[in-house]
């Protein structure tokens, strides 16, 4: 009996790029999908990034469905996620899990946003009259927002939400709302549902560089993180796309990128795999708009391993003039007179040399979210020594609990994988893990290669062609619909 026979619904925990992409593909395959997100809107870390490497295109469009995609939603994330087979559960967390593979019983706790989603029209009048201002988490503290506001300008769903920790319950927003959508009451609702499989796509959080005190983050105003630079360079960011120094608001003439901050060290010896390309992309964007700027990247190893990544790196170096030096900077010091930063680096003959830069960007690594350990305890899933999900030795997607699948740690360039019905498109290396992930999600056993060879060029009931171990194979993947 197929394990999905009892319930073909799939619960996807986490609505970042991994969760969105997974939900859309499973929904297109005919499965009921519950997309659970603990924040008021979806998008994860990718929503903060304006461009995506290696083509510098808009990042939002990459999350849209790739199976039977309607032309009308080709470039609209909100319309694409509005799929009849997807139920979006925002501001919701999993509190209990019972049952076994094929018949999971999940308890969900949904926190109130203070705004009725059926009545809110997104006019923004409530935010205009709100007297409480606070730092914007979306802009990494570089911008401001109100106690009632959208989590970001591209929020999906397009609804306002109250930050209960900052709200004073003054009632100004209630009086201003033209539809009466605001209720200053914190209500929680408990819901239970059934699912045959669960997919973890809970994402990551940036390493807090304040823990690495030698770099002076938050002590020196011109030391920023890579995601803060993303928001500065974004046209929708706090500076509207203008490159400025936080200390004086002028454009820096020299910028240094320091790689592997919070990873590949004695405490966290793993590689976050995305930091190198983030730095190359941001350096390229700076040189495109400000070609006179001196942009320097100090790295340990350049991990440009994806499709087109190394060519992108070579273009940044040879065409745009980004300078690369293999050197790990041990410490950053500030000149108090002008707030410039002093770095001690290795010269070509390996002698220490002091270099001065007007801005330093820390390419921080990825760490598990603080809530992830608690979620794993609820789900009964083991974690590894770094706090990420422990997967099986011969499978990078299966967790220690049967039929509960982990879709890595949320890195955008690792997670989007495509199923194409009639032909195999040449996808990046990171998108070749579709078959084991998809089979695990729908309760199938991964076929042996001998079986795949018998299926070659057989397309009856086949929703996809895929690759396994870098060899393109056309196969019939039969999904039981009992």
At 312, which CATH number?
3.50.50.60
pLDDT bucket at 423, cuts 50 / 70 / 90:
very low
**Over 90: is that where the pLDDT of 268 sits?**
no
Q: Which of 308, 341, 366 is the last residue of a domain?
A: 366
**Over 60: is that where the pLDDT of 162 sits?**
yes
| Same domain flag for 404 and 329 | no
Q: Which of 340, 366, 392 is the last residue of a domain?
A: 366
**Over 90: is that where the pLDDT of 324 sits?**
yes
3-state helix, strand, coil in the chain (%, to 5): 20, 25, 50
476 or 230, which is more confident: 230
**Over 70: is that where the pLDDT of 429 sits?**
no
Predicted confidence (pLDDT) per residue in 214-249, tens digit: 999 999 999 999 999 999 998 888 999 899 999 999
Tokens of 408: 């890595």
| Same domain flag for 223 and 294 | yes
| Same domain flag for 343 and 374 | no
**Over 80: is that where the pLDDT of 117 sits?**
yes
Highest mean pLDDT among 258-267, 434-443, 463-472: 258-267
* pTM of structure: 0.78
Q: What is the mean pLDDT of residues 32-45?
A: 90
User: Can you say whether the dihedral through the CA atoms of 302, 303, 309, 310 is positive or negative?
Assistant: positive
**Over 70: is that where the pLDDT of 463 sits?**
no
312 or 430, which is more confident: 312
Tell me whether residue 164 is in a domain.
Answer: no
Q: Over the Cα atoms of the chain, what is R_g?
A: 24
Domains in the chain, number: 2
Q: What is the mean pLDDT of residues 429-449?
A: 41
Do 148 and 130 touch, CB atoms closer than 8 A? yes
| Same domain flag for 54 and 200 | yes
What is the secondary structure of 192-230 as a DSSP string? Answer: EEEESEEEE----EE--GGGSGGG-BTTBTTEEEHHHHH
pLDDT bucket at 350, cuts 50 / 70 / 90:
confident
pLDDT bucket at 288, cuts 50 / 70 / 90:
very high
């Amino acid at each position: 009996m197929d394990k999905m026979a009892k319930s073909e619904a799939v619960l996807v925990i986490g609505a970042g790029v991994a969760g969105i992409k997974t939900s859309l593909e499973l929904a297109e395959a005919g499965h009921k999908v519950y997309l659970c997100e603990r924040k008021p809107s979806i998008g994860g870390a990718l929503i903060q990034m304006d461009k995506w490497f290696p083509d510098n295109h808009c990042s939002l469009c990459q999350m849209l469905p790739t199976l039977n995609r309607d032309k009308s939603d080709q470039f609209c994330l909100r319309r694409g996620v509005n799929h009849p087979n997807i139920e979006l559960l925002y501001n919701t967390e999993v509190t209990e899990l019972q049952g076994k593979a094929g018949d999971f019983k999940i308890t969900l706790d949904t926190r109130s946003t203070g705004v009725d989603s059926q009545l809110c029209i997104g006019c923004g009048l409530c935010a205009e009259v709100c007297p409480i201002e606070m730092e914007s988490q979306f802009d990494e503290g570089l911008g401001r927002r109100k106690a009632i506001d959208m989590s970001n300008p591209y929020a999906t769903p397009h609804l306002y939400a109250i930050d209960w920790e900052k709200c004073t319950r003054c009632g100004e927003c209630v009086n201003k709302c033209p539809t009466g959508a605001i209720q200053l009451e914190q209500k929680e609702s408990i819901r239970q549902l059934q699912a045959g499989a669960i997919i973890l796509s809970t994402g990551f959080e940036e390493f807090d560089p304040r823990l690495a005190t030698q770099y002076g983050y938050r002590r020196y105003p011109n030391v920023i993180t890579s995601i803060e630079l993303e928001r500065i360079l974004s046209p929708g960011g706090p500076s509207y796309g203008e490159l400025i120094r936080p200390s004086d608001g002028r454009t820096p003439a020299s910028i240094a990128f320091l790689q592997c901050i919070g990873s590949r060290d004695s405490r966290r010896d793993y590689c976050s795999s995305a930091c190198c390309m983030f730095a190359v992309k941001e350096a390229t964007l700076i040189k495109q708009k400000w070609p006179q700027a001196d942009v320097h990247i100090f790295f340990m190893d350049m991990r440009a391993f994806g499709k087109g990544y190394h060519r992108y790196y070579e273009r940044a170096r040879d065409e745009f003039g980004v300078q690369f030096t293999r050197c790990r900077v041990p410490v950053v010091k500030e000149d108090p007179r002008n707030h410039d930063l002093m770095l001690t680096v290795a010269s070509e003959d390996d002698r220490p040399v002091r270099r001065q830069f007007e801005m330093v960007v820390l390419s921080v690594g990825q760490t598990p979210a603080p809530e992830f350990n608690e979620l794993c305890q609820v789900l009964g899933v083991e974690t590894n020594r770094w706090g990420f999900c422990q997967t099986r030795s011969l499978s990078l997607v299966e967790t220690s609990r049967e039929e509960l699948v982990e879709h890595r740690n949320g890195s955008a360039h690792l997670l989007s994988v495509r199923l194409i019905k009639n032909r195999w498109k040449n996808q990046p290396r990171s998108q070749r893990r579709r078959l084991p992930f998809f089979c695990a999600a729908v309760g199938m056993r991964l076929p042996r290669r001998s079986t795949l060879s018998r299926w070659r060029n057989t397309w009856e009931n086949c929703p996809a062609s895929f690759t396994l171990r870098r060899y393109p194979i056309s196969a019939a993947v039969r999904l039981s619909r009992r």
